[in-house]
Structure 1
């Protein structure tokens, strides 16, 4: 039959064109579903600490903290903790200042020593720190631009923590598990740069061809099943 013959031909050539990418989609899906997302995000290595407690009458008032930071107005004032110590995180416009809530010391920008303390306080395994570097142009695994503190641990998973030099917040946790996941994610979305774009024409076109292959396969299956059913009926009648 002409329809079946053309459909088989179309199915064959489309499968040759898109088959390897379909294999990568399936392989990537298998790997990404097999890796627990908590391990990918290194959430299992975040140290658990009791809630930060402090006597209010011993804390520096927010007005004193703002004065120490040289701020005349505030948009936001948050009492939080850095490396187990209470701090005021103050924001005025685009300016963010971190001030110790114990003695009103200015902690921002975060020093290398404090960045190391933050990383050790955050990271659960007892692993030595290999390096602490302030990067103006961090690697693509971090995501946002710099500057950012990169703290490299000597654990088996090659963990790296990225600490914001202005706020002291751990912005990202990266490991070999994350890098494996990220590698297959880039193959999956066909964005071989940073894996952030999954709406580009290459992926849409490949997905469209994959749909055509599937439809052609269903058409072939329909004709083959109809033929087999006809043969079965004829054999049964005989």
Structure 2
């Protein structure tokens, strides 16, 4: 039958072209679904701390904090905590400045000592800090450009925290689980650089070929099942 012959030929050649990538998609999907996303994000190692209780009278007003930061106008202001102490996080003209809400002293840019205290305050397990560096050109596992503090912990999961020197926020948590997930994610989206682009032509063409393989396989399956059913009916009527 012409349709069956063409479907088999199409299925065979397309499978040779795209078969390995299909297996990578299946394997990547298995690995990424098996890894708990909370573990990938490092959420299981975030320390829990009680909410800070502070009397308003012991905190400096926002106007004093803005003056200490050198801001005449503000785009945003958040009263937050930093290593368990109250702090104002102020934004103006794409700049972020941290100011102590106790005495008005500037806390940013975050120095090495404060970055260490932020990391130790954030990290739940008992593990020593192996290294701490201010990187102007951070590795691809971080994502955004520098500068950023990289704190490496000597734990069993190879944990690294990345702390923004302006805001004092932990911008990224990386571990061996994250790196394994990221490796298969890059293979999955066929972006072998940083894994950010999943709309590129290579992926679209490969996905289209994968769909054609599946459709050709369905045609073959339908024709052969129909043929088997007809043979079965003929043997029953004899």
Aligned to 2:96: 96
Please give the per-residue CA displacement for 1:7-55, whole angstroms capped at 9, x wherever unaligned: 1111111111111100000000000000000000000100000112211
Measured after TM superposition, the shift of residue 75 of structure 1 is 2.2
Please give the per-residue CA displacement for 1:157-205, whole angstroms capped at 9, x wherever unaligned: 0000000000100000000000000000001111000001110010101
Measured after TM superposition, the shift of residue 115 of structure 1 is 0.5
SS of equivalent residue, structure 1 residue 172: strand
Distance in structure 2 (CA, Å) of the matches to 1:181 and 1:83: 30
SS of equivalent residue, structure 1 residue 166: coil
Aligned to 1:37: 37
Aligned to 1:82: 82
Distance in structure 2 (CA, Å) of the matches to 1:141 and 1:77: 30
Distance in structure 2 (CA, Å) of the matches to 1:170 and 1:15: 45
Which structure 2 segments of 5+ residues have no match?
none
Aligned to 1:205: 205
Higher deviation after alignment, 51-60 or 145-154: 51-60
Q: Are 2:20 and 1:20 equivalent residues in the alignment?
A: yes
Distance in structure 1 (CA, Å) of the matches to 2:187 and 2:80: 40
Measured after TM superposition, the shift of residue 123 of structure 1 is 0.6
Distance in structure 2 (CA, Å) of the matches to 1:194 and 1:18: 22
Q: Are 2:117 and 1:108 equivalent residues in the alignment?
A: no
Measured after TM superposition, the shift of residue 74 of structure 1 is 2.0
Measured after TM superposition, the shift of residue 94 of structure 1 is 2.0
Measured after TM superposition, the shift of residue 95 of structure 1 is 2.3
* Residue correspondence of structure 1 range 81-230 to structure 2 within 5 A: 81-230=81-230
CA RMSD of aligned residues (A): 0.8
Q: TM-score, normalised by structure 1?
A: 0.98
Q: TM-score, normalised by structure 2?
A: 0.98
Count of aligned positions: 238
Distance in structure 1 (CA, Å) of the matches to 2:13 and 2:75: 62
Which structure 1 segments of 5+ residues have no match?
none
Distance in structure 2 (CA, Å) of the matches to 1:226 and 1:71: 78
SS of equivalent residue, structure 2 residue 79: strand
